[in-house]
Amino acid sequence: MSRKLFGTDGIRGVAGEPPLDPRTAHALGVALGTWARGAHSKDLPDGTAEVLIGMDTRESGPWLAAQVAGGLARAGVSARFAGVITTPGVAYQTRTGPFVAGVMISASHNPYHDNGLKVISHSGYKLADEIEIELEDLMAKWLATGEEATPRALAVNPALDNLYTDYLAGTVSGSFLLSLVVDCANGAAAEVAPRLFASLGARVEWLSCAPDGRNINLDCGSLHLDRLQKRVPEAGAHLGIAFDGDADRALFVSSSGKVVDGDAVLFLAGSSLKRAGQLPGDLVVATVMSNLGLEKALAAHGIEMVRTPVGDKYVLEEMLRRGGVLGGEQSGHVIFLQHATTGDGLLTALRVLEIVRDSGRSLDDLAGEIQNFPQKLVNVRVKQRRPLNELATVQAEIQAAEREFAGSGRVVVRFSGTEPLARVMIEAKTHEDVDKWTSRIASAIRSELGSAS
């Protein structure tokens, strides 16, 4: 049995429309409350259960939170409201607090009209697929009753305000006497980051730190770095930091205006942890999209890089399986498992600042140790999907490219999980080779599967 509502990152959609209409959000609360009381009944001697709810800055967040809380109340479970907080902040407080589960209301880097409901278990990890299927079944049963979705009014609990930022600040020693430009994407970081950095002594110029419910991720944050790339050199800052809407990722800009992505962070953190004797198995977990330059740079430091499919879920699974403590994606999702169970942009920022401070070197200098191979990604819109190994012409082109690269390039061809797209990614020594092989493989895909307009 497969999931119908839950995707790889919870239930996502346009706020106000199925599956993010009021009744479905209420149904999630009913289902989660019912499941929590059943699964944790032996751990609830007084018969009570509590769920933590947090949200980013989207205008739809408060009413979605109220509907989830209303559904929980219908099932006899109370809700505690953290207000605006990051996704990793909800994961941390769910893991360390008295909560049977947490719900984060966010659509991460998507525009404001989208939103999502992500459920986090008491362990701090995403729910297992079988539990999400159970929740969907419980939701369907309540929706079939036709009962009215009654919201429950929520007030932010002030006792939760500083727990997460205090924890983050406690993961570093000393202060950061650095000049920074920080882009909060008009999202959750706008509430949390100023409080954190004020306690650490950094001199910060804040960008996109005035959320109005509709400007989250709007031409700002980790997906739109142009403004930060311009401002960091203008301000003479040591570096810039950009978060996304729920601050589970961070990207960086060096003093010269160059982008320092998640691959570079994995190299800086991996080599630093190895020098400190804190990298079990001399292992870093990345995805198939990480640049070959990262793999070679880590290898030069005696560190093995293991690749997984795209998705922080797969990165985390491999880290747990192999006993790794560091993994992540080019996009800036980086997991420091000794400190957190999820990717955490604020935590990543602290680790990078710590490395820059303690090394006495610039971010430009540190990241310059990675010599990235030219890389290109082409999206091919297709009319149909068939297993790639059944596409003879496509396989022939892939094999020809791999023979020509002879270990000095990579070919990754996969279908999108959400759109009718085939993605072709090529890395090679020269831009000419990258252009040639992306064109040839993309043409083969169009020939075999048809091209959708």
Q: How far apart are CA 421 and CA 310, in angstroms?
A: 15
Instruction: Report CA dihedral (126, 150, 62, 47) to the nearest 10 degrees.
Output: -50
Output the DSSP codes for 186-232.
TSTHHHHHHHHHHTTT-EEEEES----SS-TTTT-GGG--HHHHHHH
Q: Tell whether the torsion through CA atoms of 125, 319, 377 and 388 is positive or negative.
A: negative
Retrieve residue 42's tokens: 């032996």
Among 108, 222, 254, 290, the active-site one is 108
Q: Is 108 a catalytic residue?
A: yes
Cis preceding linkage at 19, omega within 30? yes
Q: How far is CA 94 from CA 152, 170, 316, 426, 438, in A?
A: 21, 18, 18, 40, 44
The single-letter code of the amino acid at 288 is V
- 436, containing H or E segment: helix 431-449
The single-letter code of the amino acid at 227 is R
CB atoms within 10 A of CB 398: 21
The single-letter code of the amino acid at 453 is S
Q: What are the catalytic residues? A: 108
